[in-house]
Amino acid sequence: MTRLGCSTISFRHRPLSEALAAIRRLELPGVDVGGLPGVCDHIPTPLPEDIEAVDDIVRVLESSGLAVWALNVDPGPLNDPALDEARLRARGTALATLASRLGAALIVPCGAQRREPFVTEDADLSLLADRLTTLGGIAAEHDVRLLVEGLHHFRFCHTTARATALLDRVPAHAAGFVLDVSHVVAGGFDEVAFARAAADRTEHVHLRDAVDGDINLSLGRGRADFAGVVGALTAHGYTGHYVLELETHDVAEDEREQRAAEARDLVTPLLPRA
């Protein structure tokens, strides 16, 4: 079984059922499901309180025949002191409950959609780590693994230094790390060196191409060294999934499936078989 899957964010302009059908045509076994405000609403944010609406999401996903590897969602700006703690816990519980029903991990981002701290860098990192630890506990109560996309070009942890500092503050039992190659490349960092440095905490990988300042390129149109990243992770014993997250801006919508197939064919020979 291949370890390569696809995020529904790759087909974010389509309804969830159509996005899943496109991924099924790629003959990939698993999906991440997007629920990021302003990016993808396949998982609504916040989740509807109406249980029937949530049941409908589960039915669509289960009927797709695809394994749901992760829900990629945003419970709120985790480094913002103004974020209501009770609301965060409620959202975290609802998302963990849904993830548990689907047998999926829960991916959350590394802070607010801004690079500047709300207080100071150190205070924001500590608050972010505390809230990730809280969410990790909630997830664990539902037998769900919490993962953090710990480096994001447009969020608080936008550098390798901040991502490393965050991981130093978050216990490994509370959360694993999602490595998104495009965000590392877009920040001007060495993606292979960072993959090597973060390998011990990496539990999930997102693949999209990039150049400095631009994360939205199809595979092969940027400068990302995917072979080098896979090699570095494999050398450190990584056995997790790789997920095409093709939220690209360099392709027309009617070409998106073709470009996704090309990305699949580019990456598949690089991956060790499960």
Which residue blocks in 103-190 are alpha helix, DSSP H?
A: 121-141, 160-169, 181-186
Domains of the chain: 4-270 (3.20.20.150)
Torsion of CA 70, 75, 80, 84, to 10 degrees: -150
What SS3 state is found at 213?
Answer: coil
Asked if the peptide bond before residue 15 counts as cis, ω within 30 degrees of 0, the response is no
What SS3 state is found at 4?
Answer: strand
Spatial separation of the C-alpha atoms in residues 76 and 132, rounded to whole Å: 11
Q: Cβ(97)–Cβ(141) under 8 Å?
A: no
- 54-74 per-position pLDDT tens digit: 999 999 999 999 999 999 999
pTM above 0.95, yes or no: yes
- 9-49 per-position pLDDT tens digit: 999 999 999 999 999 999 999 999 999 999 999 999 899 98
Spatial separation of the C-alpha atoms in residues 183 and 179, rounded to whole Å: 9
Q: What does each of the 274 residues of the chain score in pLDDT, given as a tens digit?
A: 589 999 999 999 999 999 999 999 999 999 999 999 999 999 998 999 899 999 999 999 999 999 999 999 999 999 999 999 999 999 999 999 999 999 999 999 999 999 999 999 999 999 999 999 999 999 999 999 999 999 999 999 999 999 999 999 999 999 999 999 999 999 999 999 999 999 999 999 999 999 999 999 999 999 999 999 999 999 999 999 999 999 999 999 999 999 999 999 999 999 987 5
